[in-house]
C-alpha cells in the first residue's frame, strides 16, 4: 500500500510537471505565434507599399518613355530645321558679301575725283 501511495504521488508529481511544462510550452508557442503574426502583418504592409511603388515606377517609366519620344522627335526636327536654316544662312552670307562688295565699289566711285566734279556740277 505504501508503495502504491508513493507511486501515485510520483505519478501525480510527474503529471503536474508535465502540465506545467505543457503550460509553459503553450505560452511560448502563443508568444511565437504573436511574433510571427506581427511579422506577417508587417510584411503584408510592406508588400502593399512595394506594390504601390511599383505602380508609381511603371507610371514614371511610361511618362519618361513619352518624354524621350518627344525629345527624339524634337531632335529630328531640330536637325532638319538646322540644315535648312544653315542653307538660308549661307545664302544670306553670300548676299551680304556681294552687298559689301557693291558698297565698296560705290564708295570707290564716289571717292574718285571725276565723280566729285560731276557731283558738284549737278548741284545748283
**pLDDT tens, position by position, 27-47:** 999 999 999 999 999 999 999
DSSP string over the chain:
-HHHHHHHHHHHHHHHHHHHHHHHHHHHHHHHHHHHHHHHHHHHHHHHHHHHHHHHHHHHHHHHHHHHHHHHHHHHHHHHHHHHHHHHHHHHHHHHHHHHHHHHHHHHHHHSHHHHHHHHHH--
pLDDT of residue 118: 76
State pLDDT tens for residues 62-100.
Answer: 999 999 999 999 998 888 888 788 888 889 999 999 999
The predicted pLDDT at position 119 comes to 73
pLDDT, position 83: 76
What pLDDT is attached to residue 79? 83
Indicate the pLDDT class of residue 116, thresholds 50, 70 and 90: confident
In which band, very low, low, confident or very high, does the pLDDT at 12 lie, cut at 50, 70 and 90? very high
Is pTM, for the whole model, over 0.85?
Answer: no
**Residue 2: pLDDT over 80:** yes
Amino acid at each position: 500500500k505504501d508503495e502504491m501511495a508513493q507511486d501515485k504521488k510520483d505519478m501525480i508529481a510527474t503529471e503536474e510537471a508535465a502540465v506545467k511544462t505543457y503550460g509553459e510550452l503553450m505560452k511560448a508557442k502563443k508568444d511565437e505565434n504573436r511574433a510571427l503574426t506581427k511579422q506577417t502583418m508587417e510584411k503584408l504592409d510592406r508588400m502593399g507599399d512595394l506594390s504601390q511603388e511599383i505602380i508609381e515606377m511603371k507610371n514614371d517609366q511610361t511618362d519618361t518613355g513619352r518624354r524621350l519620344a518627344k525629345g527624339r522627335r524634337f531632335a529630328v526636327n531640330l536637325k532638319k530645321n538646322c540644315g535648312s536654316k544653315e542653307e538660308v544662312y549661307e545664302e544670306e552670307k553670300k548676299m551680304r558679301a556681294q552687298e559689301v562688295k557693291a558698297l565698296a565699289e560705290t564708295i570707290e566711285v564716289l571717292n574718285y575725283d571725276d565723280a566729285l566734279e560731276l557731283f558738284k556740277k549737278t548741284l545748283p
